[in-house]
Structure 1
């Protein structure tokens, strides 16, 4: 997690810093549906590389947005889910989805 000194002064900038890239939002979209394994996320998010998915998952875990649960089995099994903090972003993501849907409907030719 970022220290208090590292956080932007503006609350909007703080939110954008935590979830403001395309991949983080799409990861959250998938995790809002429930717990997922790495390969499930990779298949569900078109165009994301394994490297970029791994980097974003690590950053989101570090920021407290997601939980990572590793099982001691062979082959390794890891599951990702939204943390309580991550789930508190649900209304924001839902509002973005609603806005996007309305925009698409209004701008279809």
Structure 2
């Protein structure tokens, strides 16, 4: 195939755009192990502000990657979990983890 014949698939481009937003892939990775509350997600990801986490969770919910479940406890308890669409990313992220273990050195730049 020649370069002039190459056309980027719009779905692939949208997927890469979504997953390349700062923190999105890491939030998915945190939720692979199961539902978590806001504070738990925030504590797993150092240097992530509550505002940015809130924004990313809303975006991911709108994309159908996570679901927000509100439990009518006192006080109200809210948990975030992966949808089937979000869980389908688990093998991809685990492969990236395997690749990074083999090829990425801590402190290196690409």
Please confirm whether the aligned pair reaches a TM-score higher than 0.5, indicating the same fold: yes
TM-score under structure 2 normalisation? Answer: 0.82
Gaps of 5+ in 2: 1-7
Shift of 1:98: 1.1
| Offset of residue 9 of structure 1 | 4.5
Give the 3-state SS of the residue equivalent to 2:23 in structure 1: helix
Q: Which runs of 4+ in 1 moved over 4 A?
A: none
SS at structure 2 position matched to 1:22: coil
- Greater Rg by CA: 2
- Two-structure CA RMSD over aligned residues (Å): 1.9
**Corresponding residue number in structure 2 for 1:38:** 38
What runs of 5+ residues in structure 1 fail to find an aligned partner?
1-7
Matches within 5 A, 1:3-22: 9-22=9-22
